Amino acid sequence: MSFSLLFLGVAASIFVGFNIGGSSTGIAWGPAVGAGLIRKTTAAAVMTFFVFLGGWTVGRNVMDTLAGDIITAPITLEAGVAVLAFIGLGILVANVFGVPVPTSMTTVGAIAGLGLATGTLNFQTIGRIVSWWIVTPIVGFWVGAVIGRYFYPELNRRFQVVTSEGPLLAVERGGRIPTIRLGPNTTRREVVSTAVVFVIGCYMAFSAGASNVPNAVAPLVSDGALAPDTAIVLATLAIGFGGFTIARRTMESVGGELSDIPLLAALIVMLTAATITTALSYIGIPISLVMATVMTIVGLGWGRATRPITARQAVRGETDTELSMGALKAEPDTEITRIGEEERAEVQNVGSLFNPHAVAKYLSMWIIGPSMSLALSYGFFLVFPFVGW
Amino acid sequence: MVTRVLVPMDDSAMAERALRYALEVHPDAEITVLHVVGEPSAMMGRAAGLALADDLEEAAEEAAGEVLTRAREIAAEYDVEITTRKAVGHPARVILDRAGDYDAVVMGTHGGSLRDRLLVGNVAQRVFSRSPVPVTVVR
């Protein structure tokens, strides 16, 4: 009984990990692959390594929260398998409908449902988690908006990713010791920019590991069905498996979204999102990479789109820019338009790309997703109270 | 008499049917196909991509190109010259903003998947209920 149940649990873990691997590899490496800087297989291999690193180090803090802090009693194996099934179901629904629902939220929702049904929910922990869920999108948006509005054009002027023909580096075997030098058409700038893209991808992969490894296995670790170390390895393998297989597709869908924005912007987004995700994972808050990523994208786009109007007007929703002509046009030769200055006619419509209504609609999915998983899990554990409680 | 017809299109088959219907029913009218780019997408990448583009005009052109080319091809089958317009923003809003300049709007019921419905909403429904001019919804 216990063995077959464990088998079921591991299978569910692998399913969850596999899907996480698909989507997070897409987010972490989509831009680099899209820009032709790295091959998909290489991306998946590097992904697996850094996911492991993230899961093994920072991920343990999240594991502790999910496995032991949300509910006051350990999650039994039976309940763990059911929780994993709900997480898997959430991912399945998200995949089928193509709606991005953060896995961490589904996980917390499912575990909290179990806690509610059995009267073991630790409200203090859940309150702390939910507060961070509210703060995170705001932080992501704010960082994105500030960069998009004040720094992006300048950065864009300075930073350019170039790829030349031929290999990036060449190995010279002439001397006694083989030396590595730049490839035939490689410029210094190319090496630096490729390195930046690569390093940021690794960082993103690390944060994905830290935040997502526990999602796949925490319910099994809680009551000791799996040792934490074994569980982390298991989750890494499952995520890596997803990275090597379905990520080929998600790099075009999920990663494609990131490729819709310029590479520089994608790098800013990734750096911000990975930092937020790693920091929160470090303090044990389960958070999804998707959440920080999307909000930074929205912030960046919004910040850039509202450049033609002043911040006060943007916040108030006044987009009438007729008045701003003239006053600030003192330097006709500057390429970058100053804040509040009028850009070309059509650019004025750009503000409408991020109307609050559309963004609110988007965010509502982040409320519906975890609520649904909470409700389903709560109902399930009410009807089937498991032995041992 | 209906002389100016607005046909908002996305990349769906339903939108193509709407255009064909418009071409058949209003053979003598001046037909304008409008495609709105930068609608909310799974990770808001499309909208952000446009906002961050160096040249919005060019970026919008690129994003709208495929749909508008397809529209012109369909019109060519009917030996009709159509006008094509592109715009950025939220589809329903843009369509409603412009509908007043036309005598009628002809559009498909809905473009796409559940995701589109969740993110973008039912564009046809919003246009239908708020348009200042008569709307034909093709299904």
Distance (Å, whole) CA A203 – CA A47:
10
CA atoms within 13 A on the CB side of A253: 14
Instruction: Write the single-letter amino acid at B1.
Output: M
Backbone torsions φ then ψ of A135, nearest 5 degrees = -70, -40
Q: Would you list the domain boundaries of chain B?
A: 4-138
Highest mean pLDDT pick, A172-181, A373-382, B82-91: A373-382
Q: What is the pLDDT of residue A193?
A: 80
Task: Residue A236: name the closest of A55, A87, A60, A65 by CA.
Answer: A55
Query: Who has greater pLDDT, A32 or B43?
Result: A32
Highest mean pLDDT pick, A88-102, A285-299, A321-335, B104-118: A285-299
Q: Which of A143, A156, A342, A350 to mutate to test the interface with B (most CBs of B within 10 A)?
A: A350
Q: What is the pLDDT of residue B119?
A: 66
> What's this model's pTM, rounded to 2 decimal places?
0.82
Lowest mean pLDDT among A24-38, A235-249, A300-314: A300-314
- The structure tokens listed for A257 are 């979204």
Q: What is the pLDDT of residue A191?
A: 79
Query: Who has greater pLDDT, A251 or A165?
Result: A251
Report whether B92 contacts B40 (CB < 8 A): no
Interfacial B residues in 107-126 facing A (CB < 8 Å) = 113-115, 118-121
To 5 degrees, how large is the angle CA B44–CA B45–CA B50? 110
- The structure tokens listed for B24 are 């058949």
At B44 the three-state DSSP class reads coil
Average pLDDT over residues A227-231: 93
Interfacial B residues in 30-49 facing A (CB < 8 Å) = 38, 40-49
Q: Which CATH number does B4-138 carry?
A: 3.40.50.620
Of residues B38, B44, B94, nearest to A298 (C-beta): B44
Is the per-residue pLDDT at A303 higher than 80?
Answer: yes
To 5 degrees, how large is the angle CA A275–CA A280–CA A283? 130
Contacts with B114 from chain A: Cβ below 8 Å: 97-99
Of residues A100, A156, A349, nearest to B43 (C-beta): A100
Contacts with A344 from chain B: Cβ below 8 Å: 56-57
Express each pLDDT in B39-63 by its tens digit.
777 777 778 888 888 777 778 888 8
Average pLDDT over residues A28-37: 84
For residue B94, give how far its alpha carbon lies from the nearest alpha carbon of chain A (Å): 9
Query: Who has greater pLDDT, B64 or A52?
Result: A52
At A363 the three-state DSSP class reads helix
Note whether A262 contacts B43, CB cutoff 8 Å. Answer: no
Mean pLDDT taken over chain B: 85
Express each pLDDT in A88-109 by its tens digit.
888 888 777 766 778 899 999 9
Q: Would you list the domain boundaries of chain A?
A: 2-307+343-383
Inter-chain contacts counted by CB atoms under 8 A, chains A and B: 119
Q: What is the pLDDT of residue A341?
A: 46
Instruction: Write the single-letter amino acid at A127.
Output: G
